[in-house]
Chain A
């Protein structure tokens, strides 16, 4: 049989690499927008607005790259990814609202911050992706 390379794998590898670059850039810009006001520009509002705007724009780039990555996957991997995203989104919405209600009703003695919610969504996606991958192995 004629030796052919799997173009799908090469495309996916390239998309993963680009998604990692966008994600890394977004994390850096978020870190800059978060810690910059205190450590770099002494709460100058104009600089903070620019930093947040840059972070948002890079975030939009990351979202578009994630869409390209998902669309570039082969159909089984796309199904596993979409199922994991659906579960993560559901857990995020339900968990986020419950967490917020705990705060509003003063059940928890601290403010409901967004950090734990992001962590919950990330961990849920990771677990759902692993479980999905094993299911179709």
Chain B
């Protein structure tokens, strides 16, 4: 049995460690590139710093746009309609209750007209946040389950997950950009060996760094994309535990997740760019679709972690089959 405090601490720590891993890869990659280019052309360390700085700068510019204008874009592309309290009193009340429990201002509330039950939250900080739920969710969940889901979404905002995943996204994007630039450079300029004949003794080392650089340029983007997915999954676990911190009722969220698992429809307005914001993966694949490439952890794992909080035993295979409808 564990507490939501220890769960939250573990999830935060894991996501931070993964982010540090990405930063490390970026640093190593930048260094190798810098050395490969700079060894023949000048100061390698300067080249390394320069290359990394340029890539991160490009990433930051695109991230800033996403940071400030992103939520409007996401809400519009999801066909979300902002609503007033009179239009959905119970939803508004539940959001208000979670806002009180979290000690944050009341977010804007949106409804998406879609039978697939799902919800997402967006916003760079608690003062500028929005929560959207589908009509399908409102129909299928009772008050306790709705509270669990809203608690989860509110926690994404409260834990600054939008900001966190954006930062990780910028770093991973920078690595991909660096890889692209470096591969083009080696293709066009042959590694710069022709530029410097006086340093003939170091030619072997430069070639070595070049080879390492090319290998990294191919592997690093894939590797860090996987790490990015792992970060997303850790933040999902964190949001689950934080939801329990707010509601003090693991059963509500557990029951909601079970209902969400057995619903097979895909959410029409979601796409690859927005899928990580939802409470469950809106792009359902046949057979569950959980892997290293998933933004969300498997629902069975999420349910089992919630059960740990109340000292209940994990789902047994028969329960799992019944839930996911798989043999």
To the question of whether A and B form a pair in one complex, the answer is: no
User: Which residues of B line the A interface, CB within 8 A?
Assistant: none
